[in-house]
Amino acid sequence: MGEFDLIERYFKRPARQAVLGVGDDCALLQPAPGTQLAISSDMLVEGRHFLSTVDPQRLGHKALAVNLSDLAACGAKPLAFTLALALPRADEAWLAPFSQGLLALADLHGCELIGGDTTQGPLNICITVFGEVPVVGGRSQALLRSGAQPGDDLYVSGSVGDARLALEVFRGTVSVPAAVFEAARLRLEQPTPRVALGQALRGIATSAIDISDGLLGDLGHILKLSGVGATVDTAVAINLVAAYADCMGARGQFDANTWLGWALAGGDDYELLFTAPPAHRTLVTAAAQSSHTPVTRIGHIDQAHGLRLVDEHGQAVANTYSSFDHFA
Ligand code: ADP
Ligand code: MG
């Protein structure tokens, strides 16, 4: 199978919203009047972001999911994406499930594959997504990292730390009951981008980021760009990962500090971390409900710079949790 057959068979579909899709030198997109384009790229490299043994269907899902997660963090509605793919060989047993997983998630979010590039080389997947954010009264409705205000509540969607739990099982450092592992593994290999929640938070949240490197590390980006500090309640954080394994009785297998480390710095969560003023609490609850996404209040924003961790009694907890950094 040649390069063009491969594109034709696995990645070319009729254009829908796009003016022009796969096949020409450029694709053409027409953003709706009164909107801005939100654009983001993410690359997945074998051995770095995924294991060579991962199910290609799940990998196709994840490659797009991590990009949709960036659109979600900006409150953008997905429109389209491009796919730059380096493949060691044209292996149809890999390509078929990969494109299936990729395009199923794309269809779920109405996000169209409009072009890309295909080349031979070590497996590498790079996606660029395009989304739409409204401009109202001359103001962009995009959620940014820079808008957090002292006194704001701090929230996180879904659960954090369970992708790390799965990774630790793969690494052989821990073992958990099979059902707990399977659930955690899905979170690692097939994360759910919080696209509906991100859009529902427009005009309600003051800042947002998606958690890819770990909750505290990504919170640090909000704090830096907003020029503020924060206090995080660690008891709430522990519950977010421990609740995951509770039903199987797996919580007792690790000490609280292990759970806490995974929740605060585990990484690969693809949840939204966001801030909103206390006056918006009922609006946040309504956004969570309308998007069918659980949301937990986990702390607040302070005028004083720096990050403080407290336990359930409000006592300070030492911060020994570091996030992932590719070059550290
Ligand atoms: P060019 O020679 O102009 O670089 P290519 O031959 O690389 O174009 O690609 C031909 C067409 O196929 C283009 O429209 C391109 O966007 C599309 N394309 C190439 N690879 C992919 C891919 N992996 N997924 C989707 N579209 C692709
Ligand atoms: Mg060209």
pLDDT digits (tens, 9 = 90+) for 87-120: 999 999 999 999 999 999 999 999 999 999 999 9
Assigned fold of 153-317: Phosphoribosyl-aminoimidazole Synthetase; Chain A, domain 2 (3.90.650)
* Residue 125: strand pairing partners: 44, 85
Closest among 154, 151, 152, 176 to 166, alpha carbons compared: 176
Ranges for all domains in the chain classified under CATH 3.90.650.10: 153-317
CA 188 to CA 65: how far, in whole Å?
A: 11
pTM (two decimals): 0.94
Q: Residue 24 pairs with which residues in a beta bridge?
A: 22
Could you name the CATH architecture of 3-140? 2-Layer Sandwich (3.30)
For the chain, where are the alpha helices, taking DSSP H only?
Answer: 3-10, 56-74, 92-108, 162-171, 178-189, 195-200, 215-226, 234-246, 256-265, 281-290
The two structure tokens encoding residue 287: 């956004």
Output the CA–CA distances (angstroms, integers) from residue 108 to 5, 37, 112, 203, 254, in the order listed.
26, 20, 10, 25, 37
Closest C-alpha to 220, from 125, 322, 93: 322
Mean pLDDT of the 284-305 span: 97
CB of 11 closer than 6 A to ligand 1?
yes
Where exactly does CATH 3.30.1330.10 map onto the chain?
3-140
Closest ligand to Cα 24: 1
- The pLDDT assigned to 13 comes to 87
**Mean pLDDT throughout 123-146?**
97
Residue 255 pLDDT: 74
Extract the tokens encoding 49: 């972001």
User: Average model confidence (pLDDT) for the chain?
Assistant: 92
CA dist 17 and 21 (Å) reads 9
Per-residue pLDDT tens digits for 199-247: 999 999 999 999 999 999 999 999 999 999 999 999 888 777 766 666 5
Q: Which atom of ligand 1 is nearest to the CA of 22?
A: 14
Give yes or no for residue 24 CB within 6 A of ligand 1: yes
Q: Tell me, what's the pLDDT at 246?
A: 63
As a whole number of angstroms, the distance between CA 222 and CA 271 comes to: 15
pLDDT at 245: 64
Q: Is the CB of 83 under 6 A from ligand 1?
A: yes
Tell whether ligand 1 has an atom less than 6 A from the beta carbon of residue 25: yes
Q: Whose CA is nearest to atom 9 of ligand 1?
A: 117
Q: Which residue has the higher pLDDT, 28 or 319?
A: 28
